[in-house]
Amino acid sequence: MCLGHAIVDRVAHVGARTIEAAGVELGAMTLVDGAEIERIAGLVGDWVQVAGGSAANTAVGLASLGAHPAFVGSVGNDVLGTEYELDLGSVGVRCVLSHSAAELRTGQCLVLVSLDSGRTMATNLGAGVVIDPAAVEQAFAGTTAAAVYIEGYLLDSPGTAVALERAVELAKGGGGFVALSLSDPFLVERHGPFLNELVQSEVDLLFANEEEARRFTGVDDLSGALDALERPGLMAAVTLGARGAVLLSGGERAVVGAPPVDRVDDTTGAGDLFAAGVVYGIIRGAPLAASGRLGALAAGEVVSHLGAQPHVSLHVLAVQAGLTEPW
């Protein structure tokens, strides 16, 4: 089960003038209101639209690998909300969506991809900022989850806190593990003490990029941050961009290289799909290194095109790479 902000991604290649006209910070994610989202959307004539949000992207990757994921989030009572659910359902993700903030529109993220494949994002979280705990209960009804994956972005939305707590409780009660993505270096700074407490008490698998890992541990260099993440009972996966990733568990370290790709077109969702591969490997009982290679494979596919949903079956790619068995 994946818990996160339900956001419709609209992605486009743009020039420098369009990014300048958008008025948001270059290469970063800027939160904007609904009116500003509509203004920026009008600057581009041709968007690629897909159901997104960090945890939802991970759910899509898990489905493509062959798992049976559910996504829990919140949308508005609008066309985008309906399209969001249909989109995720069409790729094998069971959606359990609440409408806890019905007066708000479904969240949107406009992803402006520059010529160097860099991303500048304008995001309006919309109805995603409130998730009804009843949706979590519904997702677990009559079943158990091998894992619960939570995007750290939720910590910025107090209206999701009870749903997050309930998801952790139900996961632990059913024998599943809890995975958490740190999501953003500035989020780590804003919620450092709470994150440390959460990781210490509830998290079994932690995802971070290099900068997030350094800020979370308070260590300036990568080597020291990796040492600090070697905590009893904690698995950790630290992504290093084009340099691959390092996975840690019980004193074991696995260094995974990034797979060669013909072209890097859009890095949107690379970390989310990496998480999907690692979680899939772990719930299937794969060794640490193989789980990391599954993550790298999934990330390598998604950076080759616009949007954060795979364009080909990750299961087929994993079979071809000898990382999983055919159905």
Is the confidence at residue 266, as pLDDT, over 80?
no
Is the confidence at residue 259, as pLDDT, over 90?
no
Q: How far apart are CA 272 and CA 53, in angstroms?
A: 9
Per-residue pLDDT band for 294 (boundaries 50, 70, 90) equals very high
Residue 122's DSSP bridge partners are 30, 110
| Cα angle, residue 127 at apex, residues 271 and 50 outer, rounded to 5° | 45
Mean pLDDT, rounded, of the chain: 94
Which amino acid is residue 299, in one-letter code? A
Q: What mean pLDDT do residues 19-33 have?
A: 91
Residue 93 has a pLDDT of 98
What domains does the chain contain, in order, with CATH numbers?
2-320 (3.40.1190.20)
pLDDT in tens, 271-290: 999 999 999 999 999 999 99
Helix (H) or strand (E) holding 9, with range, is strand 7-13
Per-residue pLDDT band for 102 (boundaries 50, 70, 90) equals low
Query: What share of the chain in percent tops pLDDT 90?
Result: 83
Q: How far apart are CA 237 and CA 226, in angstroms?
A: 9
| Whether this model's pTM surpasses 0.85 | yes
